[in-house]
Structure formats: C-alpha cells, structure tokens
Structure 1
C-alpha cells in the first residue's frame, strides 16, 4: 500500500472545526441525561454506555490521523495528541468485556480462540486481502508472495494503524493463559505482570510508543470487572475529591506527554492514558448516555478502524477539493464501507450458528 506522504492542505477549515468542536459534543450528549446531586448511574459500564464511548473514540482516532497530516494544523493541533487516549478506552473495554463474560458464563473458554479469531483476526485478513487486490489494480503496486503472506498474516502491517490488532491478540492470549489455568484472584495479578513484560519488551525491541503507551488499560478493565461493586462504592464515596485530583493529575501528565519532549514521554503518555480512563468512568457515572448515532458507530467501530486509513489514502489521493467539507464526505464513505463489512462478517457468523 502506498505510503501516505501528501499533506492535507485545506483552503479553509471551518467545516472540520464545526465537526470536532460543535457536532461531536452534540453527538455525545444527544438523548443523554445528567443525573442529579448524589445520584449516580449504576449501569455506567453497560453495553449502551460503552458503545457510545466507542463510537466517539473511533471518530477521535480518525480525526487524530487526519490532523497529523493537516498543514497547517490550526486548532486541530489538539487532536494530534488524542489518539492514544481514544485507544485507551478500547483496550479498557476489551479487558472489561472479557472479564465480565468470564465471570458470567460457565465453560467460557470453550471455543475462546475461534470466537476471537473470527471476530478480530478474520476481518483483518479479509480486509487486507481486498486492500492488496485494490492497491494492485488502482496504484499498480507490486506484491511478491512473501509480501502477500506477511501482509495477510499481520507479520508485516500493510497499514501501520493495524498495530492494535496484533496487540489485542497478544492480550487475548495473555488473558486466556492467566484465567484458564489460575484462580481469578491470582490471574488478575499475573496478567498485570505480563503487561509489564509486554511494555518493556516493546521498548527493548524498539517499537514506537503507540504499541505500549495504553497497554495497562487492558488489565485495568479486567480489575474493574472483578471489583465492580467495590469500584462503584468507591466512586460514590469519593466522587468529587477523586474527580478534582484526577483532573489535575491528567492535566499535568498530559502536558508532560505532549508539550515537553523527552526520552520518557511514553511513560507520561501511559500515566495520562490510565488517568483518562478513570475520568471517563467518572463521566459515565454521572451521565446516562443514549446517543443513537454513537451507538451505531460503536457497533461498527472495529470495521471503521480497519478501513479508515486505507480509505484515507485512496480518497485524498484522488479527491482534489480543498475545502474542509470534504472530510464529511470521507467520513460518510468510511461509515458506509465499514457498515457493509460489519453486515458481511455478521452474516458469516449467523451462518455458522445455523449450521451448528
């Protein structure tokens, strides 16, 4: 796949500003409600709440990748720093979702890998195969057999943003090893230890910071699921105090992570990501989210993630419009393609269910 070397130079940026600073907040709070004083949302980690946050997070990730290529970046500069925060929520919800299912279902690990592979890895392979075919036809890119095998399998990334697929599969494996063979109490701590191993291994092998600066959000989600009742009581008792502390701490580490370049910036990013997850939990504890647009996006968030960068390359390579309104057309195209893939993958799953 051709490397995206061009810059996005918009003659005016008003439409993208309206999108991120006006429309996004409207989407978040549409059909949602703020609870009163000393009233809390005890379903703050329900599927509806998490899907809303996933929907907003995937939009932030897309705008993050767009902002990195805007010249000049203008007020979109803040979005160049938000990518890892959005990813932190996906890792947290992944860990939380796995653990909740494990606690509720007997024989949870029966077919564990087949389910994970069909849900995460198979779409990855299919979309990469389509990408190889279309890139060859449209851009005339040549792929040898080794390239094809490596890109399809994930040994090499045809799209650098696909690192998340490899990372989440590693965490799935760690989760399986820990909770399949150990008690829940011991497994959660071993998982945290393995996350430390992953964190330092990525640094030692020279991987870029996005491979590991949100890693601890996965075991954090696991801990939240196991200690849900204790977490809820803690939030009720210390809501205001911890909100103030978390806001101050997040501002401090976010500033260090993005405003003061240093060799340990990834560490600051890691701490900022963890605190950000806690801030989102505090937000969900006071807001009952029911935004239908975000729910829709949350349900197809993974497919959006898989296709958005590929479409970005093709779309802005061929579209010559300079007004930032073009971003809306790009987003619509991404959503349509992702929705179609989502239906395709779900159709395949439904067929398997009927056959069994």
Structure 2
C-alpha cells in the first residue's frame, strides 16, 4: 500500500518549480492554495480508507505496510491544517474586499449553503445504510444533519468549519457600526470566541474536534497582518524558515507529552512552514489543482464507496486486495466529484 504514498509523492513533484533567489508572490492565490489542498485531500483519503482496511483484518506486518501506517500516524491532524488556515485567510480577504456586504450575507451565502450541501451528503449516507442494513437510531440520524453525530459520514470537520464561519460572522456583525468594519476589534472578539469553542469542544468531544481549530484563526490573522508580515518573513527568510522548522520538529516530538489543546500551536507553526515553503516553491500541477478545487465533494462523499465496498464478501475483498480497494474508491470518489457542481446548492447568484 505504500505505493499509494509514492503516487502522491510523484504528483507533488510533477511540474513543480523552485526559486533560489526570488519569491513567488502568488503563494496565497487561489490556484496555489487549491494545489496544496489537493495534496492534503489525498492524505485525508488515506486516513479514512485505512480505517476500513484495518477493520477488514488485513495483516500489516510487512515493512512497507508498517511504514504506510507510520506515515499516517505521524501526519495525524496536520492533514486538515491547511484547509482551515486557507479558509480563514480566504474569508478575511473577502471581508477586506467586499466590506460589510460580505459580512451581512455570510449566513445566507456561506453558512447555510455549507450546511445544506452537507445535509444532502448525509441523506446519501442514510440511503446507503438502508441498502446495507446498518442500524441507526433516530437521534443519530437527526444529529447527523447538524454534524454533531454521524451515520457513517465524515462530520467533525464540517461542524467545526461551520462553527468557524459563525464565529467570524458574529464577531464582525457585533463590532460593525453604521456599515463601517472594525477588523481589529472583530478579530480580538473572534479569538476570544475560538477559545470558548475550544474549551466547549474539549469538554464534550474527542480531541480531533478542537485540536486544529486555531489554524482557522491563524488564517484570519495572517490576512490581517499580511502587508507587514510577508515582507518581514521574506527579508529574514533563512532565519524564519529555519526557526519555524525547528519549532515544528520540537513541538511534534513533544506531541504526546503536552495537552491536546496545545496541538493547535503545532498546527499554526506547521501552517507557517507551509506558507514559507510556498514562497519558494510553485506547484503547476493540474491534477492537484483540480483536487483542491473540488475539496468539499471529495471530502464529504469519499466514504460512500469505502463503506459499500468494505461489505463485499464480508470484508474479504478489502483484506485480500487493499491497494485495489484504495484505487477503486479513489476513482469512485473522483467520479462523484465531477458532476457535483450540478447538484451543489448555492445562493451566490
């Protein structure tokens, strides 16, 4: 199965460009952000499908398979950090561009479509469960439509991202006076609400629900301080890159010795490392760009094929053909994402 990671590595280096002297100033443009997200959605795919391969009873004793699992465990929740960071950055950039109108329309044009599109996916999982005979309680089904529970679908990330959207909207809504934004005050208030959200989720949910949430806040703040921060980082690039890399390695080595909420700090440093790397590295890869641009359907529908195929021959198909299982699920995931734009709910027009 390590062959799948090799495939990801090949994709990462296909049409990649390096700059020795200058910087790529489009490192936060949509195409570059989508390309980076394209890399990490493949790691998310691996994380999710590994659960079903393990459940099939597949023997991971071979060294390449042990390495496969080791890589996944080391990546941990870092695989979703850039999704959150770029989302926070993108929303803040939109607020700067469209001002109070964007904040006013966030509930209708950003929050509600995300919830409704997620609920369509939950309905698809409900139908699948009816076909395969999976038992579901009424509370599980109802709470699944909010993202608080799951009937087999991925849910925690959607719940958290909607929560982040709501925090941004509320923070700017409260601090905006007479259609005049107060970004500084709004961001302070938002950071306070993120702390409350972290504590609440820490008391009620597993650690992956809250240990990356501040990556979103970091994206907001990076956008706010970008005009001063980016030139400073580029002027002191060697020091910034070295220091952030050392800090990340140190935090990663201490990961199991510090409280899980502090994993947020490692996530922020990781995001900074990626940002610094993309100042010098440009990805001109249409495959990764497409994957990142179709992040939502790729993320939210990928488990459909995983669940359905994991039932073939009572799991024997997965156990005996894990790589084939991965490839088939990957193809089905992509085929679902291609027509997604025709069913996507949007109120932007």
Same fold (TM over 0.5): yes
Please, which moves more after superposition, 49-58 or 326-335?
Answer: 326-335
Equivalence for 1:201: 200
Equivalence for 1:227: 225
Give the TM-score of the pair, scaled to structure 1: 0.85
Alignment of 1:62-73 (within 5 A): 62-68=45-51, 69-70=53-54, 71-72=59-60, 73=65
- For residues 196-225 of structure 1, what are the alpha-carbon distances to aligned partners after superposition, in whole Å with 9 as ceiling and x for unaligned? 1111222233x1110111111111101111
Equivalence for 2:291: 297
Matched, 1:78 2:71: yes
Equivalence for 1:53: 36
Equivalence for 1:7: none
Provide the rounded CA distance (Å) in 2 between the counterparts of 1:335 and 1:275: 31
Equivalence for 1:151: 144
Provide the rounded CA distance (Å) in 1 between the counterparts of 2:281 and 2:172: 32
Matched, 1:114 2:108: yes
Whether the aligned pair in 2 keeps the contact of 1:84 and 1:210 (CA below 8 Å) is yes
Whether the aligned pair in 1 keeps the contact of 2:140 and 2:150 (CA below 8 Å) is no
- For residues 319-341 of structure 1, what are the alpha-carbon distances to aligned partners after superposition, in whole Å with 9 as ceiling and x for unaligned? 71523431112211111112233
Matched, 1:24 2:4: no
Provide the rounded CA distance (Å) in 2 between the counterparts of 1:219 and 1:244: 24
Equivalence for 1:173: 166
Superposition CA RMSD, Å: 2.1
Aligned length: 327
Provide the rounded CA distance (Å) in 1 between the counterparts of 2:267 and 2:289: 23
Whether the aligned pair in 2 keeps the contact of 1:92 and 1:221 (CA below 8 Å) is yes
- In the TM superposition, what is the alpha-carbon distance from 1:31 to its structure 2 partner? 2.2
Matched, 1:97 2:90: yes
Equivalence for 1:87: 80
SS at structure 2 position matched to 1:43: coil
Equivalence for 2:312: 318
Provide the rounded CA distance (Å) in 2 between the counterparts of 1:190 and 1:144: 38
Whether the aligned pair in 2 keeps the contact of 1:64 and 1:79 (CA below 8 Å) is yes
* Among 41, 51, 54, the residue aligned to 2:24: 41
Provide the rounded CA distance (Å) in 1 between the counterparts of 2:192 and 2:105: 26
Please, which moves more after superposition, 61-70 or 171-180?
Answer: 61-70
Matched, 1:338 2:341: no
- For residues 36-60 of structure 1, what are the alpha-carbon distances to aligned partners after superposition, in whole Å with 9 as ceiling and x for unaligned? 22x0011110000100011111111
CA gap 1:35/1:231 in 2 versus in 1, 3 angstroms? same
Whether the aligned pair in 1 keeps the contact of 2:305 and 2:333 (CA below 8 Å) is yes
Provide the rounded CA distance (Å) in 1 between the counterparts of 2:136 and 2:207: 29
Equivalence for 2:249: 251
- In the TM superposition, what is the alpha-carbon distance from 1:118 to its structure 2 partner? 4.7
- For residues 48-85 of structure 1, what are the alpha-carbon distances to aligned partners after superposition, in whole Å with 9 as ceiling and x for unaligned? 01000111111111112334554425111121232411
Whether the aligned pair in 1 keeps the contact of 2:17 and 2:282 (CA below 8 Å) is yes
- In the TM superposition, what is the alpha-carbon distance from 1:177 to its structure 2 partner? 1.2
SS at structure 2 position matched to 1:305: helix
- In the TM superposition, what is the alpha-carbon distance from 1:109 to its structure 2 partner? 2.2
Equivalence for 2:178: none
Provide the rounded CA distance (Å) in 2 between the counterparts of 1:97 and 1:236: 21
Provide the rounded CA distance (Å) in 2 between the counterparts of 1:67 and 1:132: 22
- For residues 95-124 of structure 1, what are the alpha-carbon distances to aligned partners after superposition, in whole Å with 9 as ceiling and x for unaligned? 101000000014112321111245411111
Equivalence for 1:187: 186
Whether the aligned pair in 2 keeps the contact of 1:65 and 1:80 (CA below 8 Å) is no
Equivalence for 2:130: 136
CA gap 1:187/1:60 in 2 versus in 1, 3 angstroms? same
Whether the aligned pair in 2 keeps the contact of 1:28 and 1:52 (CA below 8 Å) is no
SS at structure 2 position matched to 1:161: coil
Provide the rounded CA distance (Å) in 2 between the counterparts of 1:181 and 1:66: 42
Whether the aligned pair in 2 keeps the contact of 1:95 and 1:220 (CA below 8 Å) is yes
Q: Which runs of 5+ in 1 are unaligned?
A: 1-15
Whether the aligned pair in 1 keeps the contact of 2:141 and 2:150 (CA below 8 Å) is no
